[in-house]
Amino acid sequence: MQLIERINDFVSNYIAGFMKTYLTVLFAYLLCACTPKAGDIVLTFDVQDKTAPIVAVVYGMTVNELTLDEHGHAEFVLKNTDALYANVFYGMEKKQIYLEKGDRLNICFNGKDFSHTVVFEGEKAPVMDYLNSITILPLADEDYGMDFQDFVKKMQSKELEYIKLLQARNLDGYGKFVKMEKGRLKYAFGSALLMYPTGHVFVSQDTAYKAGEEYYAEVQKWMVEDEDWLDLKEYRDFMCEAAHTLDVENRDVTTIYGRIVGEMKYIAEHIKSDRVKQVLLNALAGSYVDQFGIRDIEELENIYKTYVRDSLLIADYQKKYDRWDISSPGRLSPDFEAKDINGKIYSLESFKGKYVYIDLWATWCGPCQRELPFMRQLAEKFNDKNIIFLGLSIDHNVDSWKEKVKSGDLVGVQLLLGRQSAFQKAYNIDGIPRFILLDPEGRIINNNMTPPSSADTEITLNDLSGI
């Protein structure tokens, strides 16, 4: 196996899983039937002699399949996107494209011969012609056997070769493409720089080799904070992985979660640009949650919620989070089985057709007790409404719970759920009282509802449809 293949394997195992799937919210997209707005990117297709019904637009790990209509036409609209490199696939053939905010691009071709008949129609057509005329080749295996300074010179010379090809096309008047492409060419070799210590040991067979200060100084030079380059996958990947390389404290951490948290800490502490910091932290946190879920990620979330404030970035992260969160609004609530004081078993099905306001509580919980008078007032106001007030006790002392039920202090339906139930775990509840609001179908309206003592609670309940 060649070195490059070995390096790719390494990247696949340690980086690609949580690095190559980084999707910045700047790449957020929306297929829509409405008229595109001025700032949207609009990509249209016109295909003659269709041999396949679908055209695919691929960026990062996102695949968008567009169905061609009977006339061979399709349209793709991207919102909130500043700049984008993507691949267009028809069958097994592909072409590369580059688009910026507000761009319109039409791609025409004959389905029987995509590669040779494709025509790009739009202001940036010359950019597409350039992109599809060059191939960025990686460094050769033997290059990793060089001394480090010679290796750096080789990377610089390769980068310069491609810069000259770019300059020969005279593409300066096409938005910020030239700047973006220079960044893409530079960071195309970024992975080679980061892999040099591993590659050098492999090629030179010098098992005693360890990267010295000159290596880490060079990596530091490459950590340029540029907001435009955040649209480049190559740049984002390099910046995040370089954070691990430069983090002396966590450099030897091998667990994926530990690496991610370490990289986030380093970026939070060392990146000065607020925008660069937020995007990179969002990429790291989002990539981990997207692949590995939301269990035991408190440290990750502490860092994320401290530094990331951009609403679009947060929405991007939340979308990934909600995919794992079975208790997120809109989903069917996790179910339970609980007994009343007479031993009758209830589940959520028992309350289907009514809104359900759940109070998770216990007799030993002081704040829970303070809410009881407010709960009574609330229940009286909605006595003739289509809603059930349901108390779920997590008491372990059955007698204490029964005594409280018999006291007359409680309202609604009172059930004993017990400690550490699957229901409690599903909602990730570690503190009570906790209030949950469900719709008549058992779907979650609010998984952390306001308490009865809040004036907002009555307002929310009154606004429910069909209450």
Count: domains in the chain: 3
Structure tokens at 267: 């970026």
Query: Residue 332: what are its φ and ψ, rounded to 5°?
Result: -65, 135
pLDDT at 3: 45
Whether pLDDT at 276 is above 90? yes
Whether pLDDT at 314 is above 90? yes
Domain that holds residue 48: 31-123
Average of per-residue pLDDT across 163-190 = 96
Are residues 231 and 119 both part of a single domain? no
Of the ranges 6-15, 113-122, 293-302, 420-429, which one carries the lowest mean pLDDT score? 6-15
pLDDT at 428: 78
Are residues 159 and 244 both part of a single domain? yes
Whether residue 15 is contained in a domain is answered as no
Of the ranges 150-164, 191-205, 335-349, 416-430, which one carries the lowest mean pLDDT score? 416-430
pLDDT classification of 23: cutoffs 50, 70, 90:
very low
Stronger pLDDT, 360 or 426, i.e. the higher one = 360
The domain boundary residue, chosen from 263, 298, 324: 324
Whether residue 24 is contained in a domain is answered as no
In 65-75, which positions are buried (b, 16+ CB within 10 angstroms) versus exposed (e)? ebebeeebebe
Phi-psi region for residue 429, left (φ > 0), alpha (ψ -120 to 50) or beta? beta
Strand partners, 65: 56
Whether residue 102 is contained in a domain is answered as yes
CA distance 129 to 124: 9
pLDDT tens profile 415-439: 999 988 989 988 878 789 999 999 9
pLDDT tens profile 112-132: 999 999 999 999 999 999 999
Percent of the chain residues past pLDDT 90, beyond the cut: 81
Whether the Cβ atoms of residue 118 and residue 109 lie closer than 8 Å to each other? yes
Of the ranges 316-330, 357-371, 441-455, which one carries the lowest mean pLDDT score? 316-330
Whether residue 425 is contained in a domain is answered as yes
Mean pLDDT of the chain: 91
pLDDT classification of 165: cutoffs 50, 70, 90:
very high
Are residues 182 and 281 both part of a single domain? yes
Which residues are within 8 A (CB) of 124 and not within 5 positions of it... i.e. 6 or more apart? 98, 99, 100, 103, 105, 174, 175, 177
pLDDT classification of 134: cutoffs 50, 70, 90:
very high
The domain boundary residue, chosen from 302, 324, 346: 324
Average of per-residue pLDDT across 139-162 = 96
Strand partners, 414: 391
Average of per-residue pLDDT across 208-229 = 96
Please confirm whether the linkage preceding 433 is cis (ω < 30° from 0): yes
pLDDT classification of 13: cutoffs 50, 70, 90:
very low
Stronger pLDDT, 34 or 257, i.e. the higher one = 257
Q: In CATH, what number is assigned to the domain containing residue 429? A: 3.40.30.10
pLDDT tens profile 383-397: 999 999 999 999 999
Are residues 148 and 190 both part of a single domain? yes
Are residues 139 and 279 both part of a single domain? yes
Closest CA to 321 of 305, 339, 306: 305
Whether residue 8 is contained in a domain is answered as no
pLDDT tens profile 303-312: 999 999 999 9
CA distance 124 to 137: 24
pLDDT classification of 236: cutoffs 50, 70, 90:
very high
Are residues 301 and 364 both part of a single domain? no
pTM, two decimals, is: 0.67
The domain boundary residue, chosen from 123, 157, 175: 123
Radius of gyration of the chain (CA): 29
pLDDT classification of 296: cutoffs 50, 70, 90:
confident
Are residues 318 and 342 both part of a single domain? no
Q: In CATH, what number is assigned to the domain containing residue 75? A: 2.60.40
CA distance 228 to 392: 52
Are residues 119 and 162 both part of a single domain? no
pLDDT at 35: 65
Percent of the chain residues past pLDDT 70, beyond the cut: 92
Whether residue 467 is contained in a domain is answered as no
CA distance 467 to 465: 6
Whether residue 245 is contained in a domain is answered as yes
pLDDT tens profile 402-411: 999 999 999 9
Are residues 273 and 371 both part of a single domain? no
pLDDT at 6: 44
Are residues 163 and 84 both part of a single domain? no
Whether the Cβ atoms of residue 230 and residue 85 lie closer than 8 Å to each other? no
Are residues 85 and 213 both part of a single domain? no
pLDDT at 80: 87
Are residues 118 and 179 both part of a single domain? no
Whether residue 22 is contained in a domain is answered as no
